[in-house]
Structure 1
Amino acid sequence: MNHLKAFFIKFAVTFSILFLILGIYYQAFIGDVLAISFILSFVTYILGDLVILPKLGHLSAVFSDFGLAYIGIVTLGAAFIERPLIFGAVSFFAALAITVSEGFFHRYMTKSILPEMEQGQLMVEPRINFITEFAEELDVNSEVPKNKEEK
């Protein structure tokens, strides 16, 4: 139930941003904006918030959300909106606005939704840090022999 609530929060924010940029400024139909917002919210929620955020952290999730939003707006805008879309500027500013809102949404996710995932409700492996050591440890107090004869 919490995932559904979080998804609809994400959908409402994404729809608001895309309606302001695509609907009012670019004059796209509201049905097209609804479809783009739903698909984009679904993909970024699954990939960005449930997979990348727990495994790689906040900064990686924000960058991936920007990339997913930009590519999603370009491709879905070309598919749904009948007028030719100014791909560079409109998609960039919409993706940038969505990315800013994602920073606040990730804070909500880490406090409310991700603790459930640690209890096993969602099958996501925890982040594993690989630390290796290549040097030998030397005792600081021991004397190092100067040549082979002193051994």
Structure 2
Amino acid sequence: MNHVIAFIIKFVMVAAVLLIVLTWAFDVPLVDTLLISLAVTAVSYVMGDLLIFLHAGKPEDQSTRNSIASFVDFVTAFLLIWLIGQILSGTMSEMVAPALIAALVLTAGEWFFHKYVDYKVMAGYNNYKTG
């Protein structure tokens, strides 16, 4: 259940950022933005939050793991937004700036989301006390 809640929190964060950046600032259609949000959330949660963040260093070295996972999340978000946006819009160059801006904002949010994952979702991994 913790993973479902974390996934929903991440989707809301990603969708909010992409709605502001893609839909409001760059006129990307709402449906396209929601599809991109779902793809970014799914891939980055599994790859960035569960695999890389948890295994990129020693469990007690949260800062190093967070830095590595945040960088991977930036690259993943940028590439997914750019490539899916290109497929949906048909223009490659028009999606570079929105993808870069959105990935930068998402990376800032990911730093805090990783702390949530560390302490609330995977607390047993680091022997944190929950509650």
Matches within 5 A, 1:130-141: none
Give TM-score scaled by structure 1 length: 0.73
Q: Out of 71, 78, 83, which is 1:70 matched to?
A: 78
Q: Secondary structure at the match of 2:9?
A: helix
Deviations 1:33-88 (A, max 9, x none): 11100011000000000000010111110100000001011111112235665233
Give TM-score scaled by structure 2 length: 0.84
Amino acid paired to 2:35: A
Cα offset, 1:23, TM superposition: 0.4
Asked whether the 8 Å contact 1:19–1:33 carries over to 2, the reply is yes
Runs (5+) with no aligned partner, structure 1: 120-151
User: 2:38 aligns to what?
Assistant: 38
Q: Out of 79, 83, 101, which is 2:87 matched to?
A: 79
Amino acid paired to 1:52: I
Aligned-pair identity (%)? 31
User: 1:90 aligns to what?
Assistant: 98
Cα offset, 1:115, TM superposition: 2.2
Q: Secondary structure at the match of 1:28?
A: coil
| Equivalent residues, number | 119
- How far apart, CA to CA, are the structure 2 residues paired with 1:41 and 1:98? 11
Q: Out of 104, 114, 124, which is 2:112 matched to?
A: 104
Q: Which structure has the highest helix share of the two?
A: 2
Rg larger in 1 or in 2?
1
- How far apart, CA to CA, are the structure 2 residues paired with 1:105 and 1:44? 12
- How far apart, CA to CA, are the structure 2 residues paired with 1:40 and 1:82? 19
What's the C-alpha RMSD, in Å, of the aligned pairs?
1.7
Asked whether the 8 Å contact 1:77–1:85 carries over to 2, the reply is no
Runs (5+) with no aligned partner, structure 2: 57-64
